[in-house]
Chains A and B, each alone.
Chain A
Amino acid sequence: MEYGKPEMMAVAIMRAISDGDIVFHGLASSTPMVAMKAAKAMGKTFTYLTLSDGVDHDYLKPPTVASTLTANTYEGSVATFGLDEIFDLYSSGKGDIAFLSCLQMDKSGRIAMSYLGGTYDNPKLRGPGGAGSATLTPVTKKTIIWKPQHDKRTFVEHVEFATTSPDVNKEFTVITTLCIFKKPAGEKYLKVHTIFPYTTLEEVKENTGWQIDETNVPVMDPPTEEELRALKLVDPNNILGFEFK
């Protein structure tokens, strides 16, 4: 079966989830939505939380639009648990994974979500702000940032205004279209952890705005037939492709 960047990113997300995890994804997050449904279809037993209030919705309800607030993440749920309750849960240290995204990021994982360019009061681009990421990043056991681009406009040397930044004592992961960066617990900077099969460390370096010192990094296994079938099963309308158009 053929695959591209969307499928590889989704599979990297699926593999990041372990049995027993409590996992949340945010608003407008079609990539982790499809990946988490597929991880369920593969038989992973984790708790799926999201903003629709649904807990462990019926993953076979296919998304028809990229919004993550539609009926498909609510119907067939076993309980409701709203965003305010999710924030409380994670603030109590009980959340394992939060899939969040960013406008820009630097090597220490400082994330811009509030604005880009100009000043705070007079920005060139006003972002969605920090409700989710500023609240969840410091308290989530494993924050995972998904970003369906990998270029020097996104991964910059220094983020001017950090809407949030990782806790030095917590693991912090970034999944892009080319690779996975990780900041291990106890360390300050992101390192290239794994690259995807269709790229090279050189290409990652060329498209990253900070200096990468790693010289030899493992290549992630390509998606298996089973993983690709799970993605197709839960996403017949190819909503996964939305972020990659």
Chain B
Amino acid sequence: MWGSDLVAKRPEFFQVVKSPFDGTEVVCVKALVPDYAIIHVQEADIYGNCRILGPSYQDALMARAAKKTIVTTERIVGTYRMKEEPKLTAVPHFLVEAVVELPGGAKPGICYPEYQAVEWPKHKAYQKAVKEGQVPQYADSMLEGRL
């Protein structure tokens, strides 16, 4: 963060302090603690153990940072799947508050390898809904016939 005007501009997030180890100046960044992380995964069991079977981005990090994590999943699987390959469990159950089975839950975005292309007309409709404050109506249209 050295050389960034953000450090002086946002003291609530950035502070320069002396390192207790060698006295050099370092930029400290305040930890973000979201109330909720909502992540979408390919496989979860009913206890919240999650397998991310493609790029995981910072999902596991967010699940650790948030006070509560809600998982939506392409499919619910048996816990035996996790036992076969524990390393593939990116988020363990004790970090997870709720699991929702929601195939296609990342649409109009992508969930590798289940669906790999952004659905642009729907994505544009979502952007429009955000601008116009119509997100609940947009969500209703996405879920029509599925609940």
Query: Which residues from chain A sit less than 8 Å from chain B, CB to CB?
Result: 51-54, 65, 67, 69-71, 74, 80, 82-84, 110, 114, 120, 130, 134-135, 137-138, 161-167
Please report the total number of B residues contacting A with Cβ < 8 Å: 19
18 new A-B contacts at CB < 8 Å, known A130-B6, A135-B1: A52-B55, A54-B55, A65-B117, A65-B118, A70-B110, A71-B113, A74-B54, A74-B55, A74-B112, A80-B55, A80-B56, A83-B57, A84-B61, A114-B6, A120-B9, A134-B4, A138-B2, A167-B2
Q: Which residue of A lies closest to B120 (CB)?
A: A65
Interface hits, B86-145 → A, CB 8 Å? 110, 112-113, 116-118
Over the window 1-26 of chain B, the binary record of Cβ atoms lying under 8 Å from chain A Cβ atoms (1 yes, 0 no) is 11111100100000000000000000
Within 8 A of A (CB), among B16-69: 54-58, 61
The 8 Å CB contact of B3, one of A51, A53, A80, A165, is A165
Partner of A83, one of B1, B4, B58: B58
Q: A52-B55, A82-B56 are in contact. Are A162 and B3 (CB under 8 A)?
A: yes
Q: Are B5 and A163 in contact (CB under 8 A)?
A: yes
B26 to chain A minimum Cβ distance, whole angstroms, is 11
Which residues from chain B sit less than 8 Å from chain A, CB to CB? 1-6, 9, 54-58, 61, 110, 112-113, 116-118
Residue pair B3, A166 in contact (C-beta under 8 Å):
yes
Give how many A-B residue pairs fall within 8 Å (CB-CB): 57
Which listed residue (B3, B54, B55) contacts A137, Cβ 8 A? B3
Set B3, B5, B57, B117: member contacting A161, Cβ < 8 A:
B5
Within the complex, the shortest CB–CB distance from A126 to chain B, in Å, comes to: 14
Most B Cβ at <10 Å: residue of A52, A71, A120, A130: A71
List A contacts of B2 (CB < 8 A): 138, 167
> Is the CB–CB distance between A165 and B4 below 8 Å?
yes
* The one of A70, A83, A120, A166 that contacts B116, using a Cβ cutoff of 8 Å: A70
Q: Which residues of A contact B117 (CB under 8 A)?
A: 65
Q: Which 9 A-B pairs have the closest CB atoms?
A: A165-B3, A53-B55, A138-B2, A134-B4, A162-B5, A52-B55, A164-B4, A161-B5, A71-B116
Which of chain B's residues have a CB closer than 8 A to the CB of A67? 118
Q: Which of A51, A70, A135, A162 contacts B57 (CB 8 A)?
A: A51
Q: Are B116 and A138 closer than 8 Å at their CB atoms?
A: no
- Bound Cα distance A71, B110 (Å): 10
Task: Give complex CA distance A130, B2 in Å.
Answer: 12
Q: Which of A65, A82, A110 contacts B58 (CB 8 A)?
A: A82
Within the complex, the shortest CB–CB distance from A27 to chain B, in Å, comes to 11
